[in-house]
Amino acid sequence: MVRLRLRREGKKKHPIYKVVAADMRSPRNGRFIEAVGHYDPHAIPAKILVKEDRVEYWLKKGAQPSDTVRSLLRRTGFWLRWTLIRQGKDETVVKAVTERWQMQQVDRPKRESDRRARRAERKKKKPKNAEKKEAAATPEQPAPPAA
């Protein structure tokens, strides 16, 4: 069975991966049939280049992507398009859905930075609330009666 998986290359402590179609019995960096992409996790943002026509060819032939390659294909938007095509959706529907997905991806860095800022604000507020709750939980002692 053919699998789409990563093949490690690059320097020590600085891996760069090739996305390859390989027999599942061959070792990670062993023989492969065809290189269909490239992945550099150290680039900011991570650089993913995929020959979509060749990936589609191998998927149609029955190749199974590894979990990591599937997640990379999701990040490029290819997996969404492939899923819609497999479901038998019309080309206009596929195009509309992928365009909407691409528009959402443009806003993604802004949404992530906003989310981080909201989390940081919540962390700052949390200790103050915790002190108020502790003060409310311990009842004040009544003053001694005047004699």
Q: Is residue 43 part of a domain?
A: yes
Residue 129 has pLDDT above 60, yes or no: no
d(CA 79, CA 36): 15
How remote is the C-alpha of 50 from its chain's centroid?
16
Number of separate domains in the chain: 1
Report pTM.
Answer: 0.70
Q: How far is CA 89 from the centre of its chain?
A: 25
In a domain, 17, yes or no: yes
Which residue range forms the structural domain that includes residue 6?
2-64
What is the average per-residue pLDDT within 73-102? 89
Asked if residue 86 belongs to a domain, the reply is no
Instruction: Report pLDDT digits (tens) over 106-119.
Output: 888 788 888 888 99
Nearest residue to 21 via CA among 3, 39, 1, 48: 3
Residue 140, phi-psi category: left (phi > 0), alpha (psi -120 to 50), beta (remainder):
beta
Please report, for the domain that includes residue 45, its CATH number: 3.30.1320.10
**Which residue do the tokens 């390989």 mark?**
22
